[in-house]
Structure formats: C-alpha cells, structure tokens
Chain A
Amino acid sequence: MSAVVEAPANAKAAYDARWQRIMDCVALRQPDRMPATLFGTFWLAKYAGVSYKQLMYDLDGTAEIAERAVLELDPDTVSPLVLQTAMGPTLDATGYKQVQWPGQGVGDNQPYQYLDREYMPPEEYDDFLFDPTGYYLRVYLPRVMGAFEGFSEFPNIAGGFYFRLFANVRGFLNPALQESWARVQKAGQVSQELAEHNNRFVARMAGLGYPMGNIATSGAPFDVLGDYFRGARGILTDMRRRGDKLLEACDKMRRLLVKQVVPAAKAAGNPIVFIPLHWAPDAFMSQDQFKTYWWPSFRQMMLDLIAEDLIPMPMWESDCTKRLEIIQDIPKGKAIYWFERADIVRAREVLGDTVALRGNVSPSTLTTGTPEDVDAAVKYIVDNVWNNGGRIILDAAFGLPDETPVENVRAMFRAARKYAG
C-alpha cells in the first residue's frame, strides 16, 4: 500500500511545522497546537488484525501497517514503529536470551518480555570495570546471545606487544570462535536488514510529512546494570552490600552508553534520545538511595547528551511524583520528560519551566474505557496542563498499550485536535 500513497505536495512544510511544535516544547515555548505523538509496539497488530508474531517477522507488512496507522491518525511525530516490533529475525539470528518473544517462549499473540535474571554475578564487577570490552566479548555476549558462544575463546589480546602480537593471532583459529564468527556475520546481515527497513520507514514518513519522535535509544546507567547485568535482586542488594562498586560501575556504564548513543543519534539525524527508565519510581528506593545511587550518573548522562546538542527524552516509568524536585536539576529547555504514572499536573507545576512534558493518558482508560472516557482523559490534560501554559506532547503513558481498541486511539487523537488546536 505504501506505493499507492503519494507524498503530498506540502509534505515538507507539514514536516517542518510538526517538528517545530516539538522543538518549541523543548525550548519551553508553547507551540501553535498541542502536539500528539504515535508511539506503539504491538498495538499495530490490534490495528491491522494480525498476530504479534506476524508483526515481528514480516518487516514489509509491519511497515505497511505502520504507515496506514500514521496516515489515519495524523500525529505530529511517529516512533520508529518498524524497529520497535519487527525484531524477530534479528532475535533469532543472534540467539538472544534476555527476552522471550512470540514463537520463542511466549504465544503468538503475546508481547516480547524481558527475563529478570542475574546475568553478571557480583564477583564479575571488577572484570567489567577493568576491561569492559574484554568482558563483553569473552563473558557477557556469549552469555546473552547464542551466536556469540564461541567468543568465550576470544584470544586475550590486550597486553600483547611486538612479536607477542603474532603469537596471539593463532588464537583466532579456535574452531568454536570461528563457528561463532560465522554465526555473528549472518546475524550482522539480518540486523543490517532491520536497520535498512527502519531507514526506509523513516524516510518514507519524512516524505509524507511526519518526523520521528525519536530514533536513538539508550538507558540509564543504573537501570542498564540492574536490568541487563545484575538482575533485580542483585542491583537492589548491591546498594547495601557494595555501594561503592555499584557507583563505580554506574559511572563506567554512563561513559559507555554516551559513547554508543551519541554517534547513533547523529547518524540517525534525529537529536531526541529516548531513554526508558525502570528503577527510578518512588516505591523502589528511598529518596536518599535515589539521590546517591540512581540520579547522579543519569543526570551526568543527560548533561553529556545535552553538550552534544542532543535532547534526552527519559520516560519515567511508574510513579515518580516524589522525585520531581530532584530531577528538576538540569539545564532549562534541553530535555523532554515523559511520565507514565506521575501526576502530570504536579509535574507541570514543578518542571514546567525546566523541561517539555510528554504523556500520559492512562493505560487502563485506553484499554478498558470507552472513546468518551478517552476524550475526557485528554480534555483533563488539556485543561490542566496545556491550557496552563504547559509545553506538553500528548501520548499514552508508555505509548499505546497493545490491547487498546482502535476506536479509543482514534478518540485520543481526535480529542487532541478538538481541545488543543
């Protein structure tokens, strides 16, 4: 269907106007209307009546469905809808072990789900800190991706010198490593295909007048260590058992994350860096623990991104209302804070002169309510945030819940235009 929709003649002007609305919000100016954004994953399956599995594996089909949804809903920005769902072939090729996905552990109509495990035992903190690249190559990648299993035999090259360097080269003959290398090359091709599909989708959307709300993605240092290395039990008890080590690792991880995401965002040509946050909520740790262990490395990461002319867009999962005063401490007009369950009215009061806001139509209203309920929820945000001078980008609490009835999504976008220009 992509082929039959012609790019409108005014697409460039429409693109610029939409993008300007987001940039106005970031710069703390109120735009001509409240921007509304389309961020979804498996909701596209609901929209098109296909299975989640199909969405993960049929890259062209997913792009076509995404385009149809965008053209119907006419949002101001779009998330990288293909990249966020059509990962099935890449997950298969890499033998990724940290999630289960349709056909690999969960049913054909269930979303991919992360598996909370200890992927790095505490005694390996020092290995990670001493030589993160060596640790990734020989330990972490073989542990979390089947394609890398043979990389546990990767020769120990650091410390090689002069003729010793030649001796180390022999290590690359290792059969397990060679076998892995072949798998990794294949996985690289599959991953490249996904990237190309994403690039085509982004270009296609731009041609139709729709900018991306973000392309590059990162994580907070504490969260990355917690979710993908230490696991929930590990990271929680590390605060009590080895706080200094945890802080050292957060600082190291911060520098690695910045080194990854800055070139990625620049190559993508979109300055907004989406950073979903997991361990910040009020209920998870005390204010003191938050201020000591969670916030400093993330704050510094945001400053690092801002220094590179990028726009951090953290999504504060769950309820972070008690953290608002703490997280206010960043330069004004440089970031978008997306809130899931935090009180958005209070967020405007505390942060309205510091950051743009994004969110946060309730997932329960969207999934179980009527279009009238959704209309009322949007009106609440308009009345209490937008009409009070709030620079807010309308979205659901964490993007559209997968189960949201299509009528309710239509109601959300309709209400944005009805109440806020």
Chain B
Amino acid sequence: MSEMTEQEARLVGHLAEMEEDEGIDLAKKMLLEEGADPMRVLELCRAAMDIVGKKFEDGEYFLPELVLAGEMLDTIGAIAKPLIKNAPGEEPRKLGKVLIGTVHGDLHDIGKNIVSFMLDINGFEVKDIGIDVPAATFVSEIEAFKPDVVGLSGFLTLAFDSMKETIATIDKAGLRSDLKIMIGGGQIDETVRAYTGADAFGVNAVEAVSLCKGWMGVNA
C-alpha cells in the first residue's frame, strides 16, 4: 500500500496492538468527521490485520487477539462500507479460493472460524458454509464456487468418518482433480489424514495458511 500519514500509521498501530477503543475512535473520527476515503481506511485495516496475522504466526498473539482483531475489523467495516459512494474498484487479486465447513454430524465452529479469518487476512477468498454440512452440500458448493482448496473441519471423533465420506463423495462427483483437500480439528493427525484420504492436515490456522499458500505456489 502507498505510504501512510502519521495518522494512518497511528490507526494501524492501535489496531495491531489491540488498542480497541483508541483504534475504533480514530477510525470513526477519520471516516465520520474528516471524510477520509472509506476504501483507504479498509486498506489500513488490512495492513493492521497483516501484522496481527504475523504476530499470531510468531506465537506472540493467540486466539484472544485474533477474535478481538476480527471484531474491530467488523466494527470499522460496518461504519466504512455504507460510506463507499462509487462501485468499489477492482478488488486486489486473491491468492486463491478456499471453501470451508464443518462436516456433517459436528456442530463445532471455533477452529473453523479462526482458520477462515487467517486465510482471509492472508489474501484468500474464503467461503465458509457453516457447520454440520452434508457431503452433498460440499459437492454442490464446490460446483458453484470452484475453490482451489476445500477445508473440512471437525472436532469430534465422529468427524473422521464424515470427512472420509465427504472426500469420497467429492471424488465420486469427479471434482477431486481440480482441488486440494485439507482437514483440521482437535483430534486430527496423520493417521486420520490417511484414513480419510485428504491431501493434508493441519493442527492450527497457521498450518492451514501455509498449506494453502504452498498449493497456490506462494511462498509460505
């Protein structure tokens, strides 16, 4: 992004350092009082999220910071987006498309949401299709969204069979050759990966991002 003014750098700093009140107040001031370009403010938010993501990867930030960062982003986004007058310009090119959901029988979503957030701030276009997703829904969503990567999430041990069945269904629909499948969740390990036939597994959101980057030929 282009060079930042002192005020813009302050906004990025507040958000990246989890100074929520200061960050939101400054964003409001810039947007509502000073008439800052909302697209520019959102770009600054992205820059802050890049720092947050990096700190998470480095083991400085954990789930509290990712969740709080996501909420700050939502708050500022809700103020900025209605102020965008013209049709938004061309979106920055995404690294790739990821379809993600929790497999059928499993209602857990905390891990999935964190992975979606991390993929999003790392430049992927993410479509999150929720929890307890039947295999057939994954197939129809793949046909419509045409993802590069499909992420199957599950916390319970019942997810092992659901993942296996979902992957077999995707295979059977002839969709497997155009995409990679990664799995993740509390109990997932190499044994489960081999059992389900997934291409890879990750134990956390950082691994999910580096798997996707690897598949897209981007330096992780």
Contacts and interface: CB of A to CB of B under 8 A. Distances in A.
Given A232-B110, A237-B68, 12 more contacts: A111-B158, A113-B107, A233-B67, A239-B64, A241-B68, A284-B63, A286-B60, A362-B191, A364-B160, A364-B189, A402-B157, A403-B160
Interface in A287-333: 289, 317-318
B210 interface: no
B185 to A, nearest CB: 11
Given A240-B18, A284-B63, A368-B192, A113 B156 contact: yes
Q: Which 4 A-B pairs have the closest CB atoms?
A: A401-B157, A364-B191, A368-B195, A236-B64
B156 A367 contact: no
A289 B61 CA distance: 10
Nearest to B193: A364
28 contacts: A110-B105, A111-B158, A113-B106, A113-B156, A116-B108, A233-B71, A239-B64, A240-B18, A240-B20, A240-B64, A283-B204, A285-B62, A286-B59, A286-B61, A289-B64, A317-B186, A363-B187, A364-B160, A364-B188, A364-B195, A367-B160, A368-B195, A369-B191, A401-B157, A402-B157, A402-B158, A403-B158, A403-B160
Nearest to B60: A286
A241 B20 CA distance: 8
Given A113-B107, A363-B187, A368-B191, A237 B157 contact: no
A270 interface: no
Interface in B1-56: 18, 20
Interface in B61-79: 61-65, 67-68, 71
B62 A289 contact: yes
A365 interface: yes
Nearest to A404: B157
Contacts of B195: 364, 368
B160 A368 contact: yes
A367 B68 contact: no
A106 interface: yes
A115 interface: yes
Contacts of A362: 189, 191
Interface of B: 18, 20, 59-65, 67-68, 71, 105-110, 156-158, 160-161, 186-189, 191-192, 195, 203-204
Contact of A236 (B63, B105, B156, B157): B63
A65 B195 CA distance: 29
Contacts of B188: 364
B67 to A, nearest CB: 5
Interface of A: 100, 106-107, 110-111, 113, 115-116, 232-233, 236-237, 239-241, 283-286, 289, 317-318, 362-365, 367-369, 401-403
Interface centre among B60, B62, B203 (most CB of A within 10 A): B62
Contacts of B161: 403
Contacts of A107: 105
Contacts, number: 80
B191 to A, nearest CB: 4
A143 B21 CA distance: 31
B80 to A, nearest CB: 21
B105 to A, nearest CB: 5
Contacts of A368: 160, 191-192, 195
Given A284-B63, A402-B158, A240 B107 contact: no
A237 to B, nearest CB: 5
A403 B59 CA distance: 34
A232 B70 CA distance: 14
A365 B107 contact: no
A110 to B, nearest CB: 5
Contact of B64 (A115, A285, A364, A369): A285
A106 B63 CA distance: 28
A240 B105 contact: no
B61 to A, nearest CB: 8
A82 to B, nearest CB: 22
A365 B62 contact: no
Contacts of B65: 240
A115 B155 CA distance: 13
B187 A364 contact: yes
B189 A100 contact: no
Given A107-B105, A116-B110, A237 B71 contact: yes
Contact of B63 (A285, A364, A403): A285
Contact of A367 (B18, B60, B61, B157): B157
Contacts of B187: 363-364, 401
Contacts of B107: 100, 106, 113, 115
A181 B109 CA distance: 36
A110 B107 CA distance: 11
A230 to B, nearest CB: 12
A367 B64 CA distance: 32
Contact of B157 (A239, A240, A403): A403
Contacts of A232: 67, 110
Nearest to B164: A368
Contacts of B61: 286
Contacts of B108: 113, 116
A111 B160 contact: no
B191 A284 contact: no
A237 B67 contact: yes
A401 B65 CA distance: 32
Contacts of B109: 116
Nearest to A100: B107
Contacts of A237: 64, 67-68, 71
B68 to A, nearest CB: 5
Nearest to B186: A318
Contacts of B192: 364, 368
Nearest to B204: A283
Contacts of B158: 110-111, 402-403
B105 A106 contact: yes
